[in-house]
Structure 1
Amino acid sequence: MVSIKDIAKHAGVSISTVSYALNGNPKVTEETSKRILAVAKELNYVPNAAARSLKKRETRIIGAFLTTFEGAFYGKLLQGMKEEMNKRGYDLVVCSGTQSHRMLSEGMLDGAIILDSLFSDEELLLHANRGHKLVVLDRELSHENIVQVLLDNKAGATFAMDYLIRQGHKKLYAVTGPEGSFDSEQRLAAARQTVARSGPGIRYEEIPGNFDMASGIAAAARIVAEYDGPAGVFCLNDEMAIGMYHALKETPYRIGEHIHVVGFDHIDVADYVQPRLATVDYSERRWGSVAAEQLIKLIEGNGAAEHERIYVTLVEGDSVKRAAG
């Protein structure tokens, strides 16, 4: 592999002069710079990216750390990140698993966006203390090198539960997300608060879930087994709601008639299932874009980075009808 030492030897100049020329430093005259660049081209010189990033202390690469790649949620989120980063001269790598965490500590990234429950708060704070720039999407952390770009989970869950209660439903379920999930904990807390505020007469139960279709299928089986009249169900994400649709097709019970369902995330399929799923909507693409924008501000140190909240709305659908009577 050709090195700058080889170029210096062929061009009859010092190694430092070659380095200056390759980096466009005005210390080298235009004539000398052209000669060095011609030699580099003739020798098929390829810059050593690792060495260059070590010297400049930048890679122009940002990592997005995810717990999993499963489900319909991540595509638009990552696309929003990628578009914003590319616009600002950065590239995106997507990482998952504990072994990938060393990419931060080994300086392979200029910064990272975290949506990964495998990172502990303590680990992230350690990285921040070492000067690494982070945006978190899945927790609340206070540090000068960390910016929070969080989804308004509490508002969304409140919208969903209020919708079911306004439609007159007295028997309510919440199908939860995985244990330890920030989004699930926030949504569940708001669901409980909404039920508590609604006064007496509401029967409310929680069914453990895992943000996947299998959880929705299992939840549907339980609701059918104890069915004693119309029930309103808040699935804490759309994947579980779609699982309920699949499970109930094999039963006499119908969504929007016997079981009334609200989801969260407004994934594409929610608009095509019948009856149309009521769900909590927000822009995954904008969430990713805002996260990338704030991280780059943090990396470039212009003092403009700030915490952001991604707002949500309720999309009504025929999966929820007014309770009889």
Structure 2
Amino acid sequence: MVSIKDIAKQAGVSISTVSYALNGSRKVTQETTAKILAIAKELNYIPNAAARTLKKRETKIAGVFLTNYSGAFYGELQQGMLDQLAHHGYELIVCSGKESHRFLPEGMIDGAIILDANFSSEELISYADRGHKLVVLDRELEHENITQVLLDNITGAKLAIEHAADQGHKKLIIVTGPQASFDSDQRLQQALASAEKNGLECHVIQGDFNKPTGEKAARKIVESYSGPVAVFCLNDEMAIGMYNFLTKTEYRIGKHIHIIGFDNIEVAQYTHPRLTTIDYSKREWGAAGAEQLIKLIRKETATSKKIGVTLVEGESLQKV
């Protein structure tokens, strides 16, 4: 690989002169700068990003760590981050998996947005202790270098269960997300509390926030069916999985099995009958996370945020 030493040797100047020229410093004349840039181009010189980062102590790149990328949910969330970061001259790198965790301690990014259960809270605190700036979307942490932008899962679950109760339902099944999910746990705990308050008989089926587990849950419900039942899927992906399975059976959504989702992903508006679900802006959530990260990086006051939710009524849950 070509280095600035090679450029300096061919240009007949010092290494520091080459460095100044490549960084646009006025300490070097325009004539010398032009000569050095021409040689760098001729030699196909590629700047060492890591070395430049160490010198400037910034990369102008933010990271978002996600458990996975699947589903329509993540696209809108990331777009909100991209738009907000671009407004401040930052780019976004999307990371997943244990190996990508080194991007923080190695200084490859200026800060990170976390929606990844693979990060332990202890690991995140250790990074924050070393000065790394973090915004968490999936947990509550107290640290001067961490702020949180969380979804109002409590209100969302309460709205869902109260709507089912208002429609006269007495039996409720909750299909959860993965056990490590902060959002799933918050929704589940509030749903259970609201079900008890409203006198609903409640059962829980373990899911994983994807369509296959929604299909499996639907199969279990059909196998033990004894009358109309409300089903609260803790995300829309699982609700869509239930639709996929139930359309192949004699059981009708909104008549035998009444479904409520959470997320209001784009495909939800095309379901038949229309899925009852909890709505919020994924782009707003992503943008708010990015905005708070920029504030942390710039050492401005960052504040915790909560993203509001509303109930979208559909024909998938009706009166009984």
Q: If the TM-score is normalised by the length of the shorter chain, which range does it land in?
A: over 0.9
Cα drift, residue 41 of structure 1: 4.4
Counterpart residue number, 2:312:
315
CA distance in 1, matches of 2:8, 2:97: 43
CA distance in 1, matches of 2:45, 2:207: 55
Q: Which amino acid aligns with 2:310?
A: T
Counterpart residue number, 2:167:
167
Q: Which amino acid aligns with 1:314?
A: L
After TM superposition, the structure 1 stretch with the greater mean CA deviation from structure 2, 185-194 or 40-49, is 40-49
SS in 1 for 2:118: coil
Q: 1:218-297 to 2 correspondence within 5 Å?
A: 218-297=216-295
The yes-or-no answer on 1:305 pairing with 2:302 is yes
Counterpart residue number, 1:53:
53
Cα drift, residue 299 of structure 1: 1.1
After TM superposition, the structure 1 stretch with the greater mean CA deviation from structure 2, 77-86 or 112-121, is 77-86
CA distance in 1, matches of 2:162, 2:103: 44
- Residues 103-139 of structure 1 show CA distances to partners (whole Å, capped at 9, x for unaligned) of 2222211111111111111111111111111111111
Counterpart residue number, 1:176:
176
CA distance in 1, matches of 2:216, 2:39: 68
After TM superposition, the structure 1 stretch with the greater mean CA deviation from structure 2, 120-129 or 303-312, is 303-312
- Residues 201-225 of structure 1 show CA distances to partners (whole Å, capped at 9, x for unaligned) of x211111111111221222222222
Counterpart residue number, 1:6:
6
After TM superposition, the structure 1 stretch with the greater mean CA deviation from structure 2, 24-33 or 144-153, is 24-33
> What's the TM-score, normalizing by structure 1?
0.92
Equivalent pairs: percent with the same residue? 62
CA distance in 1, matches of 2:316, 2:42: 68
- Residues 32-63 of structure 1 show CA distances to partners (whole Å, capped at 9, x for unaligned) of 54554455445544322221112222222222
Q: Structure 2 stretches of 5 or more lacking a match? A: none
SS in 2 for 1:73: helix
Counterpart residue number, 1:149:
149
CA distance in 2, matches of 1:10, 1:222: 74
CA distance in 2, matches of 1:243, 1:19: 57
After TM superposition, the structure 1 stretch with the greater mean CA deviation from structure 2, 165-174 or 85-94, is 85-94
SS in 2 for 1:264: coil
Counterpart residue number, 2:195:
195
The yes-or-no answer on 1:92 pairing with 2:92 is yes
- Residues 185-234 of structure 1 show CA distances to partners (whole Å, capped at 9, x for unaligned) of 10011112212222x4x211111111111221222222222322211111
After TM superposition, the structure 1 stretch with the greater mean CA deviation from structure 2, 111-120 or 50-59, is 50-59
Q: CA RMSD of the aligned region, Å?
A: 1.8
SS in 2 for 1:204: strand
- Residues 167-192 of structure 1 show CA distances to partners (whole Å, capped at 9, x for unaligned) of 11111111111112100110011112
Q: Which amino acid aligns with 2:76?
A: K
CA distance in 2, matches of 1:233, 1:176: 11
CA distance in 2, matches of 1:277, 1:160: 12
Counterpart residue number, 1:62:
62
> What's the TM-score, normalizing by structure 2?
0.93
Paired residue total: 320
SS in 2 for 1:17: helix
Cα drift, residue 275 of structure 1: 0.2
Counterpart residue number, 1:114:
114
- Residues 225-281 of structure 1 show CA distances to partners (whole Å, capped at 9, x for unaligned) of 232221111110011111111121222211111111110011111111100101111
- Residues 78-110 of structure 1 show CA distances to partners (whole Å, capped at 9, x for unaligned) of 122122222322222211111221122222111
SS in 1 for 2:75: helix
CA distance in 2, matches of 1:221, 1:7: 68
SS in 2 for 1:163: helix
CA distance in 2, matches of 1:10, 1:252: 80
Counterpart residue number, 1:79:
79
CA distance in 1, matches of 2:31, 2:304: 49
Q: Which amino acid aligns with 1:62?
A: A
Q: Which amino acid aligns with 1:306?
A: T
